[in-house]
Amino acid sequence: MKDYRVLVIGPRRGLIEELRERRIPFSVWQTRHLFNVGAGQKSVIAPFWNSAQKNREQIRKSFSGQHFTHVIAGTESSVLPAAVARRQVGARLSSTATGTRCRDKLHMKQHLAGFGIPMTRFLADSPSLDPKQVFDALGSPVVRKFRKSSGGKGLTLLEREQDYVPGDREGCILERYIDAPEASVESFIDKGAIKFTNITAYHRKGHSNFVPAVLEKALSETLLAMNERVISALGIAWGMTHLEVYLTKNGPLFGEIALRPPGGYIMNAITHAWDFNPWSAFVAMELGEEFIFPEQASQFAASEVLYPGAGIVSAVRGKSRVLDEQGVREFRLKVKVGEQLSARAGLGQDIGYVVHASASPAERLSLHELIERELVIELAALDGPG
């Protein structure tokens, strides 16, 4: 075995489990204490900074004189810190320009528009913009969101010109609204080549992901071709990507791409649909190792992400009914009766999930519908009657 020594920035459970399983020594930089490290390794609790300079200072402070063979980013906000850290700790190098473009929606879209990737109209938000001109250019509603974000945090729809106050928020991008279903493409990349792809359908945005999607052949091919052009235009040399796309009547529009494993328990659904461990594959790509991917999916899987909204949990019904289903592979409920829930701030927030797998798309759909019907998390209003 090679003498790997890994620095994980933004750890995820599946990644840490894989490193432990393989007995690869690793240190961690995490924003709060989630994972322990082995003897002789370091765990640093610190924020991930948005500027390269601040990340450099943090690494100098926390990991000075340390050498790592590889730096692995598990989350959106750790992609840039990882690109910076690789230079300072002597690890396998990635392009910081690629890191920035994968983190900043404006840089990403400006760069990819230059390669002819189809996308919705967008503008850099700025205090000097004129609301009327913005609405004339983008239509209503205008989507305003942070350039560096994930989980849809801070996204607002501006309906009227007077709703838009240029300069009252920093670091945003403005976009024309797209009314269309969404899908994503997950890729594993080794030495500049895409080794495996999966298409996920967002059956219900933020709640239900179907893996793999069932699409017409021509549409799948168009999506995979777009995915390949995006990855090549960004110069992504290795790792795992998660590209989001809108399926409009006039063809697919690029949404964004993330240089990290997807959320929404899509990784769990991939495991059951394709019958391999995507975290093992992710680590293999990061380490530049060979990995044997399956040619075909063996099951039609889905992840159901549970979040009922704001309120006090008054009852949970249907759990045993769901567990009785043959197709249910994973079930986790992290909430108890009496617990208070806030409004969902981002898609990363959930109270549990179900992952299931079926032999056909039709069986998957009926199992999904059964779960939606039977598994009920009842809420009492926060302020109560009167």
Task: Specify the residue, 25 or 151, whose C-beta has the smaller distance to ligand ATP.
Answer: 151
150 forms part of the interface with ligand ATP (CB under 6 A): yes
Question: Considering only residues 332-351, where is the footprint of ligand ATP by CB under 6 A?
Answer: 347
182 forms part of the interface with ligand ATP (CB under 6 A): yes
Tokens 């090549």 sit on residue: 232
CA 139 to chain centre: 28
Q: Shortest Cβ distance from residue 134 to ligand ATP (Å)?
A: 13
Task: Specify the residue, 19 or 253, whose C-beta has the smaller distance to Mg ion.
Answer: 253
Q: How far apart are CA 233 and CA 105, in angstroms?
A: 15
Q: How far apart are CA 277 and CA 268, in angstroms?
A: 9
Out of 120, 248, 277, 349, the residue judged to bind ligand ATP by CB under 6 A: 120
Of the listed pieces 58-66, 123-131, 176-184, 225-233, which binds ligand ATP according to CB under 6 A? 176-184
Contact in structure between 209 and 268 (CB atoms under 8 Å) = no
H helices present in 5-129, as ranges: 13-21, 52-63, 79-88, 96-103, 105-113
Question: Which residues, 6 or more positions from 363, have their beta carbon under 8 angstroms from its beta carbon?
Answer: 300, 327
Give the angle 286-292-298 at the CA atoms, nearest 5°.
115
Q: Which of 281, 278, 257 is nearest to 268 (CA)?
A: 278
Q: Shortest Cβ distance from residue 363 to ligand ATP (Å)?
A: 27
Q: Shortest Cβ distance from residue 57 to Mg ion (Å)?
A: 29
Task: Specify the residue, 50 or 150, whose C-beta has the smaller distance to ligand ATP.
Answer: 150
Largest CA distance in the chain: 67
Q: How far apart are CA 205 and CA 151, in angstroms?
A: 11
Task: Specify the residue, 172 or 367, whose C-beta has the smaller distance to ligand ATP.
Answer: 172
Residues present in the chain in total: 386
75 forms part of the interface with ligand ATP (CB under 6 A): no
358 forms part of the interface with ligand ATP (CB under 6 A): no
Question: Considering only residues 248-287, where is the footprint of ligand ATP by CB under 6 A?
Answer: 255-256
Binding site for Mg ion (CB under 5 A): 244
Task: Specify the residue, 244 or 275, whose C-beta has the smaller distance to Mg ion.
Answer: 244
Q: How far apart are CA 147 and CA 166, in angstroms?
A: 15
The partner in contact with residue 121, picked from Mg ion, ligand ATP, none with C-beta cut-offs of 5 to 8 angstroms by kind, is none
Interacting residue ranges for ligand ATP, rule: CB under 6 A: 120, 143, 145, 149-153, 155, 175, 177-178, 182, 205, 244, 255-256, 347
